Each structure stands twice: as C-alpha cells, then as structure tokens.
Chains A and B, each alone.
Chain A
Amino acid sequence: MMSFTHLQSLVLPLDRANVDTDAIIPKQFMKSIRRTGFGDNLFDEWRYLDRGEPGQDAAGRPRQPGFVLNQARYAGAQILLTRENFGCGSSREHAVWALRDFGIRALIAPSFADIFHGNCFKNGLLPIQLGAQTVDQLFQRLQERPGYALAVDLPTQTLRTPDGDCLHFDLDPARKHRLLNGLDDIGLTLQRAERIRAYEKLRRAAEPWLFN
C-alpha cells in the first residue's frame, strides 16, 4: 500500500450530505475484475450528461458543466471536502479505488459511513473527520477564495489553512501507523499465525462442529 505523510493541495467541495457509494461509482463499473481504471467514472451520473458504460473513452463524453469535477478552478485537487455520512450504502471498495484513481488522497467530512471508512485505510486514502461547524466554515472559505489549498500533516494529525489556522483531527493510532508506513495488513496479520493456530486449537476442542 502507498504510504501517506504530507499533502498540500487544492480542495474540491462536494456540498451534499449522505453521498452513497452507488453515486461515487455506479454499479455498471463494478463489473471490472481489476482494482484500477475507475477514475474516469468517479461520480459518473453527476459528472456526465450521457449514460456511462464500462470501457467507453471519457474524453468525448458531454460533461455536466455545473458539477465541481468539471470546473477548472478545482483541477488537480487531491482533497475532497464534503458533508456528513459520506460513503454510506454498499460496501463496494470500488468507491475508494475510484477516488484514489482520480487522484484524491484525503477526504474531509463531519462523518463517514463505517465500511467505507475502513476501506479508505486499506488504500492509502486518509478520511479526516472535523466538526460540522468547521466543515461549514471550510465550505464558505473555499467559495470565497479561488485557489484555496490545505496542507495535511499526518504525523502531527493537523490541517493547515491558508490563513495559518491549524486544525487538529483524531485518528486511530494503529491505522495511522499503517498509513504512515504503507504497511501490508495481511503480512502483519500473518506474523501472528501462531496465535491464530493456538486459537483454532481451543475452538476446535470446544466447538468441533465448526471445523468439519
């Protein structure tokens, strides 16, 4: 997994609550058997005027000019600012792959749905949770000031604004460690294989029917 330490970037505002994973990556694009190639179809139904199909060349598709991903002032943004309960609904990790593939490295919202939140950490995408009021202020500043950029510093768990404000965010220490070092979760768990075998031995004795 790609590690995460610092990020300085423009911010893309998606001013909607309860954005579900069906909206992040519509189902027709889940028919891929790969982890990459989803970026062109991120928010497909909001981003384009036509209906998207897998394998289509996105270059010639008519765009919805009002949608933030199509606005020049946010081009190249790697931080997405949004409202509460982002990533609700289906567990599809394709939603995280699409965000990553598009170039998003960090998300800011008042809250995230559980499964989506966990999926982010498996793919080097940092979900930052801030109070609803702080998020509201960021939306306002972003609206007022073209070129508004934020600096994320994972080691100190801070966000720095262009005004010099420093916002702290909370993070699970184990997840932070894995993200900072780009560690492979499976490899880490397999280092504890002896523990797993010891547990299985006890369990097999107590509930043998589970091991038939």
Chain B
Amino acid sequence: MQTPTGEALTLFDKLWRSHLVDETSDGEALLYIDRHLVYEVTSPQAFEGLRQAGRRPWRPSTVLAVPDHNVPTVAAHRSHLDQIADPLSRLQVRQLGINCREFGITEFGLNRVEQGIIHVVGPEQGATLPGMTVVAGDSHTSTHGAFGALAFGVGTSDVEHVLATQCLAMRPMQRMLVQIEGELSAGVGPKDLILHVIGRIGTAGATGHAIEFAGSVIRAMSMEGRMTVCNMAIEAGARVGLVAVFDQTVCIDAAEVRPMVTWGTSPEMVVDIDGRVPAPADEADPVKRASLVQALAYMGLEPGTALRGIAVDKVFIGSCTNARIEDLRSAAQVVKGRQVAANVRQALVVPGSGLVKAQAELEGLDRIFLAAGFEWREPGCSMCLGMNDDRLSPGERCASTSNRNFEGRQGPGGRSHLLSPAMAASAAIAGHFTDPF
C-alpha cells in the first residue's frame, strides 16, 4: 500500500484506512471496530444507556466480556458470586452477567477456566487478531497492539457507542516511531525497556500519538514481551502501541537499557538499579520541581538515596503488564530454592488468566512460589489497582510488576515501585531492591 505521493504507508495508516467507514469533509473519521472487550467496572452505565434508549448491540458476536478488576483472587471467595465480600464489587460482577445474558454477549465468568485479565484473555482466546481494531473501556487496551492490531482504550460513553453502532467517530493520531537497536543485556527485559522509554520521553511524551515499536530488539522479542511493551505505551501518553512513518522518531541503544525501578508517583519518575532518588534542587523547571517535591514526600524518600537497598514491605507479581506465563517463568527462575525475606509482609503471585495459572501449575511454578513463601492466587487485576481486597496499607512500600505508581493506586497511602518480574522476585528474596539474581 502506498499514499498518492508514492510514500509507503505505516502499519498505523494501513489499519486506519482499512477500517474507515466514512469521513466527514472536515476529516473526522467513522472507524469500524472489529473486537470489543468488556469488563465489570466501565460497562454498567453503557448497558444502562442502551436499555434507556431502547437500543440493542449492533453485532453482539464481536463482544467478549470477562470480570477482572473487582474479582477476589482467593479461591474460597469465588465459588459463588455470594462469596464476594464487598457488596459493591459483587453488584458489578453480577450486573456484568445480567447484562451479557440480556444482550446476547459471550462472558467468561468467575466459574470458567478462561476467566482472567481481559488483556491476557483476548489474545489467549484468539479474540485479538492481526489487522483488527480492538477497543475496551480500559486504557491498557494498547496491549493488543503487540499483535499488529489497532487497539486503544475508550471511556464509557464510547463503550456504549461501539455497542450500539460498531463504530467510533474520531480523528487519526499522529505517529511516533520508537526504534530499539542492538541487544538487551542479560537480566534486562521488556519491562525495563518500556520503563526506560517512559523515563526518556516522559509520561505525556507521546500524547496524541500512536507509538510503533521497531528495531532489532523488538523483532527478537517474544509475544509476551511485546505485549508488556505495548501495554505501557499509555504510560507515555500514547493511546496506541504497535509492533510492525512517522511524525517523530525516538532511537534507543539497547545497551543503555538497565534493570529499571520507579522511585516516584509517575511512571516517568524512573531510574536504573544503580541510580539514586533525584534532588528537586537540580530541576530548573518550577512545575516539575514541585512535582518532584510532592512525589518525594508521598513516597517517603530523601533525595540522593540509592535505589538499591530501599526495603520493601510487599511484592506483587501480576497485572495486564506482567502476568503471562513468560513473566511467571522469569520470576520463578529467580525464586527457585530461595526464601522470601523476613521483612516482606506479603508476596503475591496473581496469574493473568485461568489458562496461564493452569500452565504454570503444569510446569510446577506454583510449588516454587509457595515453597519460597509467596501466595499463589486466582486470576484477576488484583493489587494493580486494589479494587478487590488485595491492596497496600498506608505507608507500605511495594515492589510491583504493574503499570502505575500514582498516589493511592494500590491502596490509599501505598507506595508503589514499578519493575520487571525478575526484579520484583529479586526484591522479594533480598527484602530490598537489588540487581536481578
């Protein structure tokens, strides 16, 4: 495919054009949506909207629903919906089932082995395919870009719009190429790479853009790894992350990427394991300086403190960023034959889906984690955002494989440090941040 001037089209352009239903004279597109993933938190108001307007889903067969954000990860609390302790969570999970039955939508409920985090389940079930447009009422929908799909998060009004019309009215994003050349060092993985990128371009560095990840490192990367990288494109402001030009190019030398740990309250507040907590006095921009001061106070850290050696209270291995089989293997390799440090109050492993969990158990990973003192849980979003009972208490410091270190994200007053599964497992064993074992 080429543009009228003979220029080759980018992957983004091809996906955009092949889904164009209509275009207004001022350039607003009506874009066709092939797959719509739905979960319990951002959909009830959309279904209620359909009901009030007397509308039906345009193509119910394109919708796949899974409860994930609110679900308990303790087996005993999942055997029946009545077992969900929190009445509001129970209501949302139950309402999803009611809505799916009423509108003829396939749902993998809590009693199904396929249940899990929606961004793990979609690809696992073949619901995400190359060349598709994929949306969900969740910002981490960018994950599905790993498959060469145009995938992005939307709000609840758009969830309703896609249900009712199979389309979205929108304008194309600008395109950004992030090219990673060379070879990643031992102990450095996809999570370190994407944190490095976010640290480099900033949390709003790709606002208004779709990022296409390319280069030798991406070509050599596993699908799980590509999903981790695309998942966190939104943490650099990009609604879309794709693997396959460009209004902007960022070049990264793979040799520069080191094991990364965030220290602050935005994913861009990140340094490598040899780094130190930055000093606000060194920041010239007053708005940025104020952000640093606020972040240090919230995180309970002093400028100049070495990241290596900061003690952790909890460790969370899970989330749509890092709860696939490859992530669990990488963490288990570190943990094998070792023990969780005495100062770590809780170390959780929450697989991304029932199928990931079953595969891990087949490989004996559950026994490795349990023997080391980790808890082995049922699938769900869990402590990534603490909508279920898994959360941090005020002041607790957590090594987390999730995607957001915002204030209160993992529980009010909780302090989150984002890192890779291998780094989180190493922190659990050492009791503090350290190089991957």
Contact = CB atoms under 8 A, between A and B. Distances in A.
B158 A85 contact: no
A209 B155 CA distance: 28
B385 A27 contact: yes
Interface string B87-106: 01101100100000000000
A185 B155 contact: no
B27 to A, nearest CB: 9
Given A111-B207, A210-B132, A90 B139 contact: yes
B419 interface: no
Residue in B32, B45, B58, B204 whose Cβ sees the most chain A Cβ within 10 Å:
B204
Contacts of A33: 44-45, 48, 91-92, 95
B55 interface: yes
Nearest to A36: B45
B204 A196 contact: no
B222 interface: no
B157 A84 contact: no
Contact of A89 (B132, B386, B406): B406
A115 B153 contact: yes
Given A34-B45, A35-B45, A122-B158, A17 B88 contact: no
Interface stretch (A18-26, A66-74, A143-151, A159-167): A18-26
Nearest to B139: A91
Interface stretch (A2-10, A57-65, A187-195): A187-195
Nearest to B58: A196
A96 B32 contact: no
Interface in A93-139: 93-94, 96, 111, 113-116, 118-119, 122-123
Contacts of B167: 189, 196
A140 interface: no
Interface residues of A, number: 57
B62 to A, nearest CB: 8
A141 interface: no
A186 B290 contact: no
A91 B42 CA distance: 9
Contacts of A122: 155, 157-158
Interface string B391-426: 000000000000010111100100000000000000
Contacts of B282: none
Contacts of A20: 266, 404, 406
A102 to B, nearest CB: 18
A32 B21 contact: no
B139 A185 contact: no
Interface string B277-296: 00000000001101100100
Contact of B165 (A115, A196, A210): A196
B147 to A, nearest CB: 14
A45 interface: yes
B28 interface: yes
A117 B60 CA distance: 28
Contacts, number: 173
B171 interface: yes
A196 B155 contact: no
B70 interface: yes
Given A18-B203, A91-B154, A114 B208 contact: yes
A31 B91 contact: yes
B425 to A, nearest CB: 26
A11 to B, nearest CB: 18
Q: Which of B61, B86, B169, B239 has the most CB of A within 10 A?
A: B169
Contact of B41 (A31, A118, A203): A31
B153 A190 contact: no
Given A16-B294, A93-B157, A210-B34, A186 B55 contact: yes
A18 B291 contact: yes
A168 interface: no
Given A20-B406, A23-B407, A88-B204, A189 B91 contact: no
Contacts of B122: none
Contacts of B138: 90-91
A30 interface: yes
Contacts of A15: 290
Interface in B120-157: 129, 131-132, 137-139, 153-157
Contacts of B208: 114
Contacts of A51: 412
Contacts of A208: none
Contact of B154 (A90, A115, A192): A115
Interface in B156-172: 156-158, 160-161, 164-167, 169-171
A111 B335 CA distance: 43
10 contacts: A17-B287, A18-B266, A31-B86, A33-B91, A85-B204, A92-B155, A93-B137, A195-B21, A196-B58, A199-B32
Interface of A: 15-18, 20, 22-23, 26-28, 30-35, 45, 51, 54, 83-85, 88-94, 96, 111, 113-116, 118-119, 122-123, 172-174, 185-186, 188-190, 192-193, 195-196, 199-200, 203, 207, 210, 212
Given A119-B155, A189-B167, 14 more contacts: A20-B266, A30-B42, A89-B139, A89-B404, A90-B138, A93-B137, A113-B237, A115-B155, A118-B155, A190-B165, A192-B22, A196-B165, A207-B131, A210-B132
The 3 tightest CB contacts between A and B, nearest first, are A122-B157, A31-B88, A33-B44
